Amino acid sequence: MEQKILRTWMVAICAWMASSCNNKAADYLQKATFDLSDDLTSARIALVFTPKVKATFGSDFSIKDYGNLFTLPYVEAQQPFTAGFDLNMNVLYDNEYVEMTPTDRLPNGLPLGLPHAVVGVEAGSIGGARFHAFLDIKELSWLGMAVMIDAVDENFPADLSISQVFRRDAAGNPEVFGSFFGPMLDKQGNVIQSGGLALFANVKALIDARAEGRVNAAGAVELSPEAGFELSGPAAAYYRAHPAELGRISQKYMEALSSLR
């Protein structure tokens, strides 16, 4: 992750849950999953939320013929809210995307949290949410998605991103992580771009791990969230020092998600 990212300590873990230290990160995020095709050319990566997040909107946005970005709606006692992407790695070779200018920023201006810039592609919108795909045309490694949510407005900090890591490489670098981030505001405090959530995965690393037998040979792999969180953006230091505020904002992100229909 970028040098600006600061690891939170146990006090921030407690704050995220807005309750006691006995709670786990999985109170909101149950797990991440990845499922690779038999020929190791495509990957389905998803964030799976707990029943505390009751977003009941489903979506499916195609990225040409390479796959899609999706959400699965929360259905009580049947299905958790899930957000992810299912893409073929050939998307990284598409001439249209290769000619686009890479970015190291989310749509709200905060850092992506990746080791290098990638291409951002607008995928579509539904209700109060707009979807973007991120494609690593440089190193042919990372795939990702971001969902900009209208409900994540000026009531959220504009300069904070809260990230949850699900898998790291041998050097300790994140391979799969999700983020929640605030909006972009103008000087008058008006929303230019809403905040939302993002999911990124070093798919090449996951494919290599499968090919080398370091993960299950077939089927979906479930990844538990790490115990701690990482903060980035100019407001990171403030929220480290004010865990109660971090807890309040964290809960508001989940409420914003749950408002989607």
* pLDDT tens digits along 27-40: 789 999 999 999 99
pLDDT of residue 88: 97
Q: Which residue has the tokens 């020929």?
A: 39
pTM of the entire predicted model: 0.88
% of the chain beyond a pLDDT of 70: 90
Residue 231 CA to residue 233 CA, distance in Å, equals: 7
Confidence of residue 217 (pLDDT cuts 50, 70, 90): low
pLDDT of residue 22: 32
Cα distances (angstroms) measured from residue 146 to each of 13, 172, 235: 24, 24, 21
pLDDT of residue 224: 94
The two three-digit tokens of residue 118, written as one number: 């990638």
Confidence of residue 132 (pLDDT cuts 50, 70, 90): very high
pLDDT digits (tens, 9 = 90+) for 136-147: 999 999 999 999
Can you say whether the dihedral through the CA atoms of 88, 111, 157, 178 is positive or negative? positive
pLDDT digits (tens, 9 = 90+) for 191-216: 999 999 999 999 999 999 988 888 87
Burial class (CB in 10 A: 0-12, 13-18, 19+), 15: buried
**More reliable by pLDDT, 125 or 229:** 125
